[in-house]
Amino acid sequence: MKRALVTGVTGQDGLYLCEALLAKGYEVYGLIRGQNNPKRELVSSIVPDVKLLTGDLTDFSSLIRALRQSDPDEVYNLAAISYVAYSWENAQLTADVTGKGVLNMLEAVRLHAGDEPGRIRFYQASSSEMFGKVQEVPQKETTLLWPRSPYGVAKVFGHYMTINYRESYGMHASSGILFNHESPRRGKEFVTRKVSQAVARIKLGLQSDVTLGNLDAKRDWGFAGDYVEAMWLMLQQPQADDYVVCTGQTHSIRELLDVAFACVGIDDWSPYVRQDPRFMRPAEVDMLIGDASKARRQLGWEPKVDFRRLVELMVENDLREQSALR
Ligand code: NDP
Ligand code: GDR
């Protein structure tokens, strides 16, 4: 039985990845932080077979301890401060967790693996935010990086550290450059979930409108359940490498609103949507669209859920959740 250690286990991707690994017969360990993490119960209810270990990406000795306790074949480093807007307000903390945290994890894995650096396979959760002010359309593995937020800059550091540990020490360390991926488990601070929840509440008469920022930004949105499969496939390859994972389609926030409101029979959303500079960013990533042909060719990976179905899944889930709260 293979063993995996997953950081960021309380997050959207952590939950889907743990489900996938358990279904493949892995013994799964999850790193959880804080003395009384409120999401511990959520993890235990969705993936009760995951063994939770206490640790924090900024606490090196806790990572060494987690590696000793789990002695994994594979490490998936998903933990991060992941909310781009928040990263301007807490830039140093973002650098410590989302950036230097990757180095801490790589170094802990290197030390734990000892004389066999390739014995533990490592996945780093890199991001399309690294492309920022895009220098090429569509974006692929070789596209020049131009991050536009403290989060994006921290992810670039983690991405290059992962490559550097692979090249310096012969570690099996791969970096997945994943474009936005969403689901009913998406955090409510991200625009897709903010919209799906608001649409459900507006339909149920629980809320009158929703306030957003930039409606013209475009994103390549996929389904998180599809994307965790790509993470796993990367670690099954004989050689570690870097892969873009995306759908190859891009949609604006306006199109997201069109589809989400249409799910509840509202064709004109203008009376329900307000804009406020509060939700605008100091520097925006205007448009992302990826080219996943390398992942398709080398991993045999394809997204299964398209944008429309993804939004429907999220709105349907929020209608159920909000109805139950009434
Ligand atoms: P979430 O924000 O849902 O989850 C982030 C996780 O990181 C949480 O489990 C959180 O734990 C944990 N975490 C935060 N700080 C620390 C810390 N100091 N030590 C240990 N754990 C910590 O993110 P997603 O699941 O959406 O994303 C997973 C990863 O993929 C992230 O690295 C993200 O940046 C990256 N990514 C995500 C994309 C997406 O579209 N979802 C696209 C590209 C990359 P807690 O619950 O305790 O806060
Ligand atoms: P993003 O996701 O920044 O791409 O990062 P988010 O959903 O936060 O923003 C997407 C776009 O929507 C615009 N927007 C708003 N965003 C939020 N959150 N709230 C609003 O009210 C709002 N109005 C407009 C934003 O300006 C932006 O253009 C996500 C995260 O998961 C990262 O961790 C990950 O690395 C990238 O995706 C790929």
Q: What is the pLDDT of residues 6-36, one digit of tens each?
A: 999 999 999 999 999 999 999 999 999 999 9
Q: What is the pLDDT of residues 103-161, one digit of tens each?
A: 999 999 999 999 999 999 999 999 999 999 999 999 999 999 999 999 999 999 999 99
Asked if residue 298 belongs to a domain, the reply is no
Structural domain of 107: 3-181+222-245
Asked if residue 295 belongs to a domain, the reply is no
Q: What is the pLDDT of residues 269-314, one digit of tens each?
A: 999 999 999 999 999 999 999 999 999 999 999 999 999 999 999 9
Most ligand 1 atoms within 8 A of CB, residue of 78, 98, 123 to mutate: 78
CATH code of the domain containing 16: 3.40.50.720
Query: 86 CA to middle of ligand 1, Å?
Result: 13
Q: How many helices (H) and strands (E) does the chain have?
A: 12, 13
Examine the domain organization and report whether 90 and 127 are in the same domain: yes
| 97 Cβ below 6 A of ligand 1 | yes
Q: What is the pLDDT of residues 244-266, one digit of tens each?
A: 999 999 999 999 999 999 999 99
Q: Other C-beta atoms within 10 Å of 206: how many? A: 14
The answer to whether 129 is a known catalytic residue is yes
| 196 Cβ below 6 A of ligand 2 | no
Residue 326: the pLDDT is: 82
Asked if residue 234 belongs to a domain, the reply is yes
Instruction: Identify which ligand lies nearest to the alpha carbon of 227.
Output: 1
Alpha carbon 64 to chain centroid, angstroms: 24
| 272 Cβ below 6 A of ligand 2 | no
CATH code of the domain containing 271: 3.90.25.10
3-state SS of the chain: helix, strand, coil percent to 5? 45, 15, 35
- Look up the pTM and report it: 0.98
Examine the domain organization and report whether 280 and 138 are in the same domain: no
Examine the domain organization and report whether 175 and 258 are in the same domain: no
Residue 238: the pLDDT is: 98
Q: Are 162 and 126 in contact (CB under 8 A)?
A: yes
Nearest CA to ligand 1 atom 29: 78
Nearest to 80 by CA among 70, 95, 66: 95
| 181 Cβ below 6 A of ligand 2 | no
Asked if residue 192 belongs to a domain, the reply is yes
* Structural domain count of the chain: 2
Asked if residue 294 belongs to a domain, the reply is no
Asked if residue 46 belongs to a domain, the reply is yes
Examine the domain organization and report whether 202 and 120 are in the same domain: no
Nearest CA to ligand 2 atom 16: 191
